[in-house]
């Protein structure tokens, strides 16, 4: 399981594959100086509910992965996650869609 640490204190624990996709989308938005909200469900052992954070270029973020190897990225998932950043609800960890077939 990977971890996204926001502002040194708020932690979001999620599988490495999902985190790798979120890292690309979050990094892309912040490089372009486009702030957005990121929301996730809290585990029941942490009280349940949900957490929303404001992502901006000033945010302090750390992405920690359990696996050493980088994940193969799914372009369709990156596009769906990126589109979510433009919605009123903001970014959340949505399920991975089937990869698009890039062959002619």
pLDDT tens digit sequence for 49-102: 999 999 999 999 999 999 888 889 999 999 999 999 999 999 999 999 987 665
**CA dihedral defined by 72, 77, 83, 89, rounded to 10 degrees?**
-110
Q: What's the confidence (pLDDT) of residue 101?
A: 62
Tokens 């399981």 belong to which residue? 1
- The CA distances from residue 72 to 23, 27, 40, 66, in Å, are 13, 17, 23, 15
Q: What's the confidence (pLDDT) of residue 71?
A: 86
Q: What's the confidence (pLDDT) of residue 44?
A: 87
> What is the average pLDDT across 24-29?
97
Model confidence band, residue 43 (pLDDT cutoffs 50, 70, 90): confident
> Rounded to two decimals, what is the model's pTM?
0.89
CB 91 within 8 Å of CB 38: yes
């Amino acid at each position: 399981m990977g971890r996204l640490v926001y502002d040194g204190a708020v932690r979001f624990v999620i599988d490495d594959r999902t985190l790798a996709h979120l890292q690309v989308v979050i990094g892309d938005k912040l490089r372009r100086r486009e702030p957005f909200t990121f929301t996730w469900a809290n585990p029941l052992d942490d009280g349940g509910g949900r957490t929303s954070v404001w992502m901006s270029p000033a945010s302090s973020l750390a992405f920690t992965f359990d696996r050493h190897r980088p994940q193969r990225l799914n372009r369709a998932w990156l596009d769906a996650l990126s589109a979510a950043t433009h919605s009123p609800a903001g970014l959340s960890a949505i399920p991975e869609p089937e990869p698009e077939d890039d062959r002619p």
